[in-house]
Structures are given as structure tokens and as C-alpha cells.
Structure 1
Amino acid sequence: MTSEQTARAAAKADRRQSLLAAAAGLFADRGFTSVRLEDLGAACGVSGPAVYRHFPGKTAVLGELLLQVSQDLLDGAHRVAAAEDGAGEALAALVRFQTDFALSHRDVIAVQGREMRHLEPDVRAEVVRLQRDYIEVWAGQLRLLHPDEDHGTAVFRTQAALGLVNSTPHSVRRSPSEQRGRRALLEGMALSALLAGSEAR
């Protein structure tokens, strides 16, 4: 591949990521069904038909957005957990990781919660699989910390903590000062949800 071809490929990849970022914002603000490809193109400074150079349609944009974020979260969770020495430290690090994501990717969180039904069935199944694998990383650390606890309870604890983290950022203003002030509180609440009642055993 020549340097010119490499530059073109990089520019195309950048444009694709720009379209995905714009789609997250538009889908979150207006809802998937209310956004046209022309809207998506306009948000990135291109025509609606130009979007077809990157995606075959709006549903494909949604699918790529949610597949990418689900894979990124799973990969990140594995890295975060592997970097810690114990299960307790890994769980605290996972909470920080998810909180960082939720506060910096509010639009994606909103789209993930509302628009899954619009995915193609095979794409939806893959997104669900990735999300389950992500939950399993957390549940696995909980089982290491409390081997006597059953798998279903560990999954339930994880879902409760993730639900708390993912829902709260919508009520936090976007100002950096408020985010800093609420981050520690949110992390502490999520960790408490993960470990609630375990101290008594």
C-alpha cells in the first residue's frame, strides 16, 4: 500500500468514526426513527448519499455503534481486571472504568438503553452476547471475592451496579466541576451495590 493509499484509508476510517460519534448524539437527542441519513451527513459536513460510502444504511450505523462500544467495554474490562492484584481491587477498578465511560459517553448509554430493538436480529444477538460477557467479567471477580456466593447472585449484583452507574449520569450536568463532585459519590454507591450484604457473611 502506497503512502497515498494509506492516507486515504486513514481519512476514511476517521470519517467513519466521525459518523458514528455524530450518530450517537443524534440518536440520543431525537431517537433512531427520527434521524435521517441526511441529518447524519450534515452533522459531519457531507451529503446524505456520501454516508453510503461508509454504511449501507441507518440500521447499519446503529449496529456498528453498539457493536463497537460493546467490544470496547469488554476489552477494557479484561485489561482493567488483569491489571489489579486482587478481586477487591479489580472490582473497584471496574467501577471506576464504567463510571468514566458513563460520564463521558452519555449519548451512547442512552442509545444502548433505548434503541436495541432497531438492530438486525443477528447484530442484536451479538451485542447481547458481548454485554453478557462484560457482566461475566464483573461477576467472575465477585465470585473470587466471595466463592460461597452463587453465580446468579453475582450477576444480579453486577446488573444492579451497572444500572446505577448508567442511569445516574443523565441527571448530572455536563460541567466538569459537577462531574468531579459527583464521580466519587457515584463510584462509592456502585461499589456498595456490588458488595451489599456481603460483609455480614
Structure 2
Amino acid sequence: MTTSKRTRPQRGTDRRLQLIDAATVLFAERGYPYVSVADIARKAGVSTPTLYRHFADKGSLLLAAVQKTVDDLEASTDAAALESSANPAEALAVSITRLSISSPHATSLWRWSGQHLSADDNAEVVRRTRSVLRQWASAIRANRTDLTERESMYLAGAALSVVGSGAGRVVRQNPRNAEATLVELVRRSITLSPDQATVPSPIHHLDDEEPTRRDEILDAAARLFADHGFAGTGMDEIGAAVGITGPSVYKHFASKIAILIGISQRSALRLEAGALAAYAATADPSRRLDALVDHYVDTVTSSPDLLVGFNSAFALVAEPQAAELLAAQRRYVARWITLLTEVNTAASAAGATNTGSRESAVLAVHAALAIVNDAVRLPRSTPRPEFAARMAYLMKGVMGV
């Protein structure tokens, strides 16, 4: 009888963690609005009533999942003993790489969760996460007199993006040499010098005609989706932002999904135009990749379209156009991977210490894209005049080009 009383709390704790883990995976794979309580219970192998004995609703599960990811970040940072290490930056690189591999979502769930948490809960998550990043920044500049506190925070954020880019999941699927590559990517990111960033070459956009009502709707919807999420925005709000009624929006778009598709198609066309311009301008892989980075940073910082497409991709899963949008995105990223593989192979042939494998290029490209995609989610950063230059510099730096 005594044994039963002792084990019951432990079983309750285990079940709670089981539910949090199941919710974390589903939220990451499908997006919070598209996961039901029943889905989470099924994933955890329990009944829905059992889930409700531990959590009041889906929102409380999300909060618990996000809090656990921050717990993991804090625990990993504490375990690394950065302050007492002879080489704090190296201890940090190893520690967060291991965390990314053992708990991939611990470094990525924060990206989109804020819009689904209450203001107070989100503020607390941000406060705790920034506290961890300040510890990382302190470790990064421990043996470097060239870095300011702000610059070291840029590098800490870049390191978080590198390990949260999905690289940890790739390493788990293909561990051979990949863990060493991921550690090296983190090392690259934290040894950069943001003050060396130079302003990217100006991007010449095609001069469009006067925006149509359709363009105005897409622009307004993109801003609203970025601020409130796709699920949290209604057609009436989109119409009001343009100065028309909600029903009038239907004269231009059959549904809210059609608007999201239009936003995604517009950003895909812009990226494709940038890629074609880069390839037409030069045959040199390094210069082509350099141009792609500059154009990508310009695209993602000058309009919310691209970020909205990423954040709302879950809503398009069942749409016929989703397959082509995904294929276009993969073709675009594949260009980067091919170019970086060519650059690395040429460097290796010239005697440089570099890995020219396609696998290492895949990790590096996704890490580089994550750096700017994550940073633009933080609205306090993008208005800074040096932001675009530093993003392009960090992206090129983590790819080693």
C-alpha cells in the first residue's frame, strides 16, 4: 500500500511529460491551430479524458511545452558550466549541439508560439529565453575584446538559430560525421565579428505599375497574418485594413486560403527572379551564392510575405497548390546547396581545410536561412539600420563563404 502511494505521483509526472512531448512534436509538425486535443491524446496513447486530468485545454499544453523547452535551454546552459570553463565559447558550442540532437524542438518551438500565448505568458518566456542568450553572449565574448554586448547577442541568437534549424533532426537521422559538422557550424557562428558586416549591394526591383486592389489586399493580409497569425485573422479585418467591407474582399479572392496562396506565390516569384538574376550575372558559384544571400535578406526584411508563407504553411497542406509551392521552395534551396557544394569542393581541391560533401552543405544552408528567418520574427531588431548587413554577413559566415 505504501509503495502504491509513493509511485502514484511519479506516474502522474511521467504521464504529464508524455503528453507534453506528444504535443511538442505535433505542434512542430502541423502547427498549433491544426492540432486538436484528441490528436495529442492519441499521439500520447491515452484517452482524451485522461489528458484533461492533467491539462485544462490545448493552450495550457502549449504553455507547458514552451516552458519545458526553456527549462531544457536553462538546464543545458547550467550543465555546461560556462563561467568556470577555460574556453566558454567551445563549451557552449558543444553543449547546445548536444541539446539540439537530444531534444530538437527545445531550440525551435519558440519561433511561432508567441502569437498563441497570452501576453503575460509570452513576456515570461521571452524574459527567460533572453536571460539564457545573455549567458551565451557572455561566454562568446569571454575571450574576445573585439565584441560589444550587442554584437555578442547577435552571435548568441545566430547560434540558437543554427541548432534550431532542424540540423539536430538531420544528425539523428544520419549521425555519421553530421554531429561534428553541426558543432563546426555553431563554432563558425560564434566566432564571427558583426562589426565587419558591409552593406549588401543594392537590389534593383522591377518597377511595377500602380498597385491594384488585389495587391492592396495581399499587402494588408500579409501584415495582419504576420501580426496575428493566419488563423487569428478574419476576412472582415482584411477588408477593413484596405478600406472595404469583408464581403467585398471576395470579389478578388474566393477565400482566406486563396489570399494566403497569393502571398506565397508572390514571394516565390520574387525569390525566383532573384535567383535568375544571380545566375545571369555571373558563372562563379561563390558570387552567385553571395548574390542569393543579399537578395534573400532584402526579400525577407522588406516584406512580410516570405515569413507569412513559412509560418502559415500548415494551413496549405490540403490545398492543391501546396505541392507546387513546396516544390518551388525546395528547388530554390537546392540551388543554394548545389552552389555551396561547388564552392566547398573547389576550396578543398585548392588545399583549404573544408568539407565539400553535399550533406555538410545541406546543414550549412539550412542553418544560414534559419539565422535571418528567426531574426525577422523579432520586431525590435529589423528597424535597426545595420540589421540587413549583419544578417547577410552572418549567413555568409556560417556557410564559410
Q: What TM-score do you get using the length of structure 2 for normalisation?
A: 0.45
Deviates further, 148-157 or 74-83:
74-83
Kindly provide the amino acid, as one letter, of the partner of residue 151 in structure 1. E
Give the fraction of aligned pairs with identical amino acids, expressed as a percent: 28
Cα displacement (A) at 1:39: 1.3
Cα displacement (A) at 1:173: 6.2
Write the deviation string for residues 51-74 of structure 1: whole angstroms up to 9, x where unpaired: 111111111111111112202211
Correspondence for 2:296: none
Correspondence for 1:71: 71
Correspondence for 1:97: 95
Structure 1's unaligned 5+ residue stretches are: none
- 2:77 is paired with a residue whose SS is helix
Correspondence for 1:36: 36
Cα displacement (A) at 1:118: 0.7
RMSD: 2.4
Change (3 A) 1:77 1:110: closer
Correspondence for 1:11: 11
Correspondence for 1:121: 119
Q: Normalized per residue, which structure has more helix?
A: 1
Cα displacement (A) at 1:104: 2.7
Q: Structure 1 residue runs of 4+, over 6 Å off?
A: none
Q: Take 2:133 and 2:192, find their aligned partners in 1: how far apart are those partners?
A: 17
- Give the conservation status (yes or no) of the 8 Å contact 2:133–2:153: yes
Write the deviation string for residues 145-183 of structure 1: whole angstroms up to 9, x where unpaired: 1245211011011112221221141772642xx223111
1:106-185 alignment runs, 5 A limit = 106-169=104-167, 172=170, 174-175=172-173, 178-185=174-181
Q: Take 1:136 and 1:50, find their aligned partners in 2: how far apart are those partners?
A: 39
Higher RCO (C-alpha under 8 Å, 6+ residues apart): 1
- Give the conservation status (yes or no) of the 8 Å contact 1:67–1:126: no
- Give the conservation status (yes or no) of the 8 Å contact 1:28–1:108: no
Kindly provide the amino acid, as one letter, of the partner of residue 58 in structure 2. K
Cα displacement (A) at 1:77: 0.6
Q: Take 1:41 and 1:158, find their aligned partners in 2: how far apart are those partners?
A: 36
Q: Tell me the number of residue pairs that the alignment of Structure 1 and Structure 2 aligns.
A: 195
Change (3 A) 1:124 1:134: same
Q: Take 2:160 and 2:63, find their aligned partners in 1: how far apart are those partners?
A: 22
Kindly provide the amino acid, as one letter, of the partner of residue 45 in structure 2. G
- 2:109 is paired with a residue whose SS is helix
Q: Take 1:156 and 1:173, find their aligned partners in 2: how far apart are those partners?
A: 25
Kindly provide the amino acid, as one letter, of the partner of residue 5 in structure 1. K
Q: Take 2:168 and 2:181, find their aligned partners in 1: how far apart are those partners?
A: 15
- 1:52 is paired with a residue whose SS is helix
Q: Take 2:35 and 2:183, find their aligned partners in 1: how far apart are those partners?
A: 34
Q: Compare CA radii of gyration and give the structure with the larger one.
A: 2
Write the deviation string for residues 17-76 of structure 1: whole angstroms up to 9, x where unpaired: 000111111111211111111111122222212211111111111111111220221132
Cα displacement (A) at 1:110: 4.2
